[in-house]
Amino acid sequence: MTVPVTPAGLGYTPADPAFIADPYPAFARLRADHPVIYDPATNQWLVARFADVLALLRDRRLGRSYVHVATHEEFGRTPPPAWQAPFEASQRLQLIDMEPPDHTRLRRLVSTAFTPRTVEGLRPRVTELVDGLVSAALERGAFDLLADLIEQLPVAVIAELLGIPPADRGQLRPWSADMTLMFELTRGEADERRAVQATVEFSDYLRTLVRDRRARPRADLLSELALVAEAGDRLSEDELIATAILLLNAGHEASVNGAANAWWTLFRHPQALAALRADPGLVPTAVEELLRFDTPAPMFERWVLEDIELHGITIPRGEELALLFASANRDPAQFANPDGLVLDRAPNPHLSFGAGIHFCLGAPLARLELGVLFRAILEQMPTLELVSEPAWKPRFVLRGLQALPVRVA
Ligand code: HEM
């Protein structure tokens, strides 16, 4: 009797710390022999190859959500319990979980704040913030590159952009960390309760702020959107609050993980780090390569809204796909020397920012932040070195390090 091959048998074990630390050998096995395979442990179909992930991201027979076209029952799913309603309601109004035409309308409203040109205008302020953070870290000598430096920047930038008062910004990371527990494959009820609680607190906080901005507008994105919301027909108050939550959370989670994972990669590739220090002009292509090499958000899900066929397998409506971005980014059919860190790789069509209609709205901002930050660290901290090997958080979907202890000589 032959034992059927399972993703777990190939090493795809999202709850296992060893897999989280290095999922790439399992991805290589999936890509080679099982480009699409059903995973009974997660009830998802895994898709591992670049060409498939890219095509599916552009395929309108799939959706980030299904609630706009079907009930939970029609999709064979158990409806979430009533106590999760605040989370569900907020999620449903976030543009990342919408499909056209609502997605198009909401994305258009916020996109002007994130075009490459508008974002380039933020460069002086981002540089100022980075310089302040780097100076403070240098004074300490030994510090956590993640908490003391990397994490501070995207949180400050997105909070300033929206107009969150400095005194309140300390809450953003914990709220986001708790809310995003709901996306983990291995979550338990305690995680779900934390996610719901954080949604309620975050939404209440933003409702007060939005109403204040509507009464007393300032020069920030929240005021601009609050005025659009007041006009009523294009943006409701609940949509505005959900949009602000999305921007604040998406505006730092992946950037923080991406930057910290990138430095961990550099510390493990001392020759590449030395080359980058010798020629900081490599930073723009290096940032792209580091985002490819260790993809900050390794997996995004899609629902099958109409039957699809993939490698001769029919996947019916109602099923869920796990698109393995991190595997796609190491696909030898797309990238020469995929497991090598090639700092001047160009072109570099990695999928770390996604593709299709949900392509990352914040990609220009993330690129600016990481570019300015990396250059400052390289130039102002030439002796930066790792103190001890970092540990990973027990999370796969929002995969990131717990800390990155470093020192400057
Ligand atoms: C290195 C940093 C970042 C990475 C790797 C990243 C990655 C991604 C990916 C892969 C998606 C698409 C998800 C999918 O297709 O299911 C996405 C969507 C999104 N990202 Fe980012 N992101 C980053 C930074 C940012 C920043 C700084 C912002 C700030 C505004 C942001 C805002 C968004 C938004 C609003 C969406 C939803 C877009 C839509 O549905 O139309 N992201 N991001």
128 labelled catalytic: no
336 labelled catalytic: no
> Which residue has its alpha carbon closest to ligand 1 atom 9?
353
152-162 vs 253-268: helix crossing angle, rounded to 10: 160
Do residues 46 and 36 lie in contact, with contact meaning Cβ atoms separated by under 8 Å? yes
Best residue among 360, 368, 369, 374 to mutate for probing ligand 1, ranked by most atoms within 8 Å of CB: 360
255 labelled catalytic: yes
369 labelled catalytic: yes
What CA–CA distance (Å, rounded) separates 209 from 121? 25
**Confidence (pLDDT) at 234:** 77
**Confidence (pLDDT) at 236:** 87
> Which residue has its alpha carbon closest to ligand 1 atom 20?
360
**Per-residue pLDDT tens digits for 374-408:** 999 999 999 999 999 999 999 999 999 999 999 99
Q: Does the structure show a pLDDT above 80 at 3?
A: no
CA of 315 to the centre of ligand 1 (A): 27
360 labelled catalytic: yes
Q: Does the structure show a pLDDT above 70 at 233?
A: no
Spot the catalytic one: 255, 260, 297, 322: 255
Q: Does the structure show a pLDDT above 80 at 83?
A: yes
> Which residue has its alpha carbon closest to ligand 1 atom 27?
251
Q: Does the structure show a pLDDT above 70 at 97?
A: yes
Question: Does ligand 1 come within 6 angstroms of the Cβ of 246?
Answer: yes
**Per-residue pLDDT tens digits for 277-332:** 999 999 999 999 999 999 999 999 999 999 999 999 999 999 999 999 999 999 99
Mean pLDDT score of the chain, rounded to an integer?
A: 95
Spot the catalytic one: 244, 360, 366, 376: 360
Decide: pTM greater than 0.85: yes
Q: Does the structure show a pLDDT above 80 at 2?
A: no
**Per-residue pLDDT tens digits for 128-143:** 999 999 999 999 999 9
**Per-residue pLDDT tens digits for 136-172:** 999 999 999 999 999 999 999 999 999 999 999 999 9
Q: Which CATH number fits domain 8-407: 2.40.30.10, 2.30.300.10, 1.10.630.10, 1.10.287.130?
A: 1.10.630.10
CA distance to 140, 199, 215, per residue, from 149 (Å): 12, 26, 35
**Per-residue pLDDT tens digits for 5-56:** 999 999 999 999 999 999 999 999 999 999 999 999 999 999 999 999 999 9
Q: Are strands 44-47 and 62-63 parallel, antiparallel or unpaired?
A: unpaired
**Confidence (pLDDT) at 1:** 66
What CA–CA distance (Å, rounded) separates 388 from 205? 38
Distance of CA 311 to the CA centre of its chain: 28
C-alpha distance across the termini of the chain, in Å:
61
Confidence band of 264 (pLDDT split at 50, 70, 90):
very high
Confidence band of 409 (pLDDT split at 50, 70, 90):
confident
> Which residue has its alpha carbon closest to ligand 1 atom 43?
360
**Confidence (pLDDT) at 57:** 98
**Confidence (pLDDT) at 21:** 97
**Per-residue pLDDT tens digits for 177-215:** 999 999 999 899 999 999 999 999 999 999 999 999 999
CA quadruple 302, 303, 306, 311: dihedral positive or negative? positive
Question: Does ligand 1 come within 6 angstroms of the Cβ of 365?
Answer: yes
Rounded average pLDDT over 211-237: 86
The residue to which tokens 């950037």 are assigned:
255
Q: List the structure tokens of 55.
A: 């095509």
Question: Does ligand 1 come within 6 angstroms of the Cβ of 297?
Answer: yes
**Confidence (pLDDT) at 232:** 64
Rounded average pLDDT over 369-378: 98
| Among the listed residues 387, 274, 276, 295, the one whose alpha carbon sits nearest the alpha carbon of residue 338 | 295
Question: Does ligand 1 come within 6 angstroms of the Cβ of 11?
Answer: no
